Chain A
Amino acid sequence: MGHSDLSRLVEPDRVRKEVYTDPAIFEQEMARIHETVWIYCGHETQVPKPGDYYTVQIGRQPMILVRGKDGKVHVLYNRCPHRGNMICGDRKGNTGEQFRCSYHAWTFHHDGKLKNIPMMESGYAGSRLNKDSPELCVKRAARVESYRGFVFASLSSSGPSLKEFLGPSIVAFDDMCDRAPEGEVEVVPNCFRVIQHSNWKIFLENQLDALHPSVTHQSTGRAAHEVEKMLAKKAKKGEVPLSYHMLSAFATVTIDKWDNFQTINYPHGHCILTGYMGLRPQDPDTKAYDKIMIKAYGQKRFEEIVGVNIHHVLLYPGLSVQSPLQQLRAVRPLGVDKTLTEIWHFRLKGAPEAIYRRSLAYYNLVNSPATMVNADDLENFWKCHTGLASDGGDWVSFARHYGRDLESASGVVESAPSMGTSEAPMRNQMKAWARYMGAR
């Protein structure tokens, strides 16, 4: 896409509707963004044993995340070099010593190298192919890097390293892992998958939209608050499960209060929403956890770790991390108007069971396919996408608090004090989008 086309589509405080609805633009953004930048593939603990694999979509490319015999994690295209057959038809499993294509029994090592072709010597004598031909290997992702167990792949051989790409947003993984007394997390082997009938960017724009919770989720917030009050009357102080608070906050934190949150926006489109949701109560479970943490880290470092004030970290273009609750949502665009989210949660290694259950409650209530929260988000996303496809208007507006954000010399943009509902994250994402798509 040329420079002039892009400047026509994206302005600093508004974006043309076609950015969300045009299938041709979708194809371009898959090529220039998702199939170029670092995309989250999975956590190393998803594939603990040699041969363990998960299939994963990067842009339009079906890929395999696999643990090799050498202990290394590889990311391969899910395509046999012979006739193009997908190698893994299952979503997950263990492939044993090798991959074996179901069509003509070509076999491959876990790193993609050819192992054997039936009757190779007689079949390929004199042909352009021999055992060492690179075109007989399963193609590998151009680059694979892992940070604290979180595996990313880039399908482009050039570009910033994973650490450079993540920049200060790397705190998403540090915050999650540091909260574990052993400094590591372990995936819980269950992934919830939910399909949204909307463009992938609509989901990302909602992640750090501090204006929407008290509107979209008020029904659940109020319902939870009613039951919370009823339980509090019956119970002794502090005995109402924290999970009710997670839900009732949507109603008790009214729309005006969300301005107290803050967003910090980084180059590459990443963004942090601050605000901790009050997850440091002084109940016996938290106190027991604090004790173990202080033993592991010392008082000073402990205070630093639990003092990190993060609600959400958005890693553009495909990952939303809630580090204090040890969950993440990976975004897999399936089409211009169809998006899959894969939702995972993690255990803090060395932390008491009660701390895991806190994270589990959030996973079940907010992120399960029977969610009482995202149900109304998904309804909005579908309505947004359908409305945008109409001729009822040409623009999407991101003008809230435009011109009032605080921009530093390094390009970091913070929402101004008491302007947490600034649409800075959306403006920042579209700035990154335009840069990836070719505008300067």
Chain B
Amino acid sequence: MKEQHAIEQFLYRQAELLDAKQWQAWIDLFTPDGVYWMPPDASYETWDGQPAIFAEDKNLMTVRMLRVQHPDAWSQRPLWETNHVVSNVTIQKKSKNGDLVVTSRFHMMELRRDDVRHFAGKYTHHLKKTKKGHAIRLQRVDMTNAQAAYDYVLQVWV
């Protein structure tokens, strides 16, 4: 129960940092070898060497953060906000390297100018236990709408 609670709090914080645009704090949630991965299809088993909507290590995450923060990131200038809701948090198992595998469901509403978009799907987190709490080794994001045509694009992590 205690572990369930701690993990739920961790996932809520992850989502909260995205909504609050606290990009560096969000990147800091990952282990040094951590990866954020959004496959184009639920059948994919690895991000390595295959097409991916996102497949970013911390270096690429940093590129994305610096880009979004740049004053001339034109598409980032107009108003935009997001709102994540995370639920159905389930501790699945311990993986071979001792990481905890946790699944959850998310729903994200995004506002850009006057337009609202909805993205929903499943998170699979591989969490490493550290002295300071949990850290993300892998955040897999299976979007329900991954295969649908994208009306405009995604700018930051979902």
Mark A residues whose CB is within 8 Å of B.
188, 190, 192-197, 216, 218-220, 222-224, 226-227, 230-231, 244, 247, 340, 345, 353, 356-357, 360, 363-365, 368-372, 374-376, 378-380
- The answer on a CB contact under 8 Å between A364 and B149 is no
Q: A-B pairs with CB below 8 Å: how many?
A: 105
- The answer on a CB contact under 8 Å between A223 and B70 is yes
**18 additional contacts, CB 8 Å, given A188-B51, A192-B150, A375-B153?**
A194-B149, A194-B152, A195-B151, A197-B152, A219-B72, A219-B74, A220-B63, A222-B66, A223-B62, A226-B66, A231-B59, A368-B52, A368-B54, A369-B154, A370-B154, A371-B153, A375-B75, A380-B74
- The answer on a CB contact under 8 Å between B70 and A364 is no
Which residues of chain A have C-beta atoms less than 8 A from B152's C-beta? Answer: 194-197, 375, 378
Which residues of chain B have C-beta atoms less than 8 A from A190's C-beta? Answer: 40-41, 50-51
Interface of A is mostly: helix
- The answer on a CB contact under 8 Å between A223 and B154 is no
Residue of A nearest to B75 (CB): A379
- The answer on a CB contact under 8 Å between B51 and A364 is yes
Measured in the bound complex, the distance between the Cα atoms of B32 and A296 in whole Å is 42
Which residues of chain B have C-beta atoms less than 8 A from A195's C-beta? Answer: 149-152
Q: Knowing A188-B51, A376-B75, A378-B75 touch, does A222 contact B41 (C-beta < 8 A)?
A: no
**Of the candidates A223, A226, A244, A368, which one forms a contact with B53 in the assembled complex, judged by CB atoms under 8 Å apart?**
A368
Measured in the bound complex, the distance between the Cα atoms of B155 and A193 in whole Å is 15
Q: How far is the CB of B88 from chain A (nearest CB, A)?
A: 24
- The answer on a CB contact under 8 Å between B53 and A370 is yes
Q: How far is the CB of B44 from chain A (nearest CB, A)?
A: 9
The CB with the most chain A CB atoms within 10 A, among B63, B66, B70, is that of B63
Which residues of chain A have C-beta atoms less than 8 A from B94's C-beta? Answer: none
For window 39-61 of chain B, which residues contact chain A by CB distance below 8 Å?
Answer: 40-41, 49-55, 59-60
- The answer on a CB contact under 8 Å between B149 and A340 is yes
Which residues of chain B have C-beta atoms less than 8 A from A357's C-beta? Answer: 49
Q: Does B73 sit at the interface, judged by CB under 8 A?
A: yes
Residue of B nearest to A340 (CB): B149
Question: What are 16 A-to-B residue pairs whose CB atoms are below 8 Å?
Answer: A190-B41, A192-B51, A192-B53, A193-B149, A195-B152, A219-B70, A220-B67, A220-B73, A222-B66, A223-B64, A224-B67, A227-B66, A356-B49, A363-B51, A368-B53, A375-B155
- The answer on a CB contact under 8 Å between A372 and B63 is yes
Which residues of chain B have C-beta atoms less than 8 A from A226's C-beta? Answer: 62-63, 66
Which residues of chain A have C-beta atoms less than 8 A from B151's C-beta? Answer: 195
Which residues of chain A have C-beta atoms less than 8 A from B49's C-beta? Answer: 353, 356-357, 360
Which residues of chain A have C-beta atoms less than 8 A from B75's C-beta? Answer: 375-376, 378-379
Q: Does B38 sit at the interface, judged by CB under 8 A?
A: yes
- The answer on a CB contact under 8 Å between B149 and A376 is no
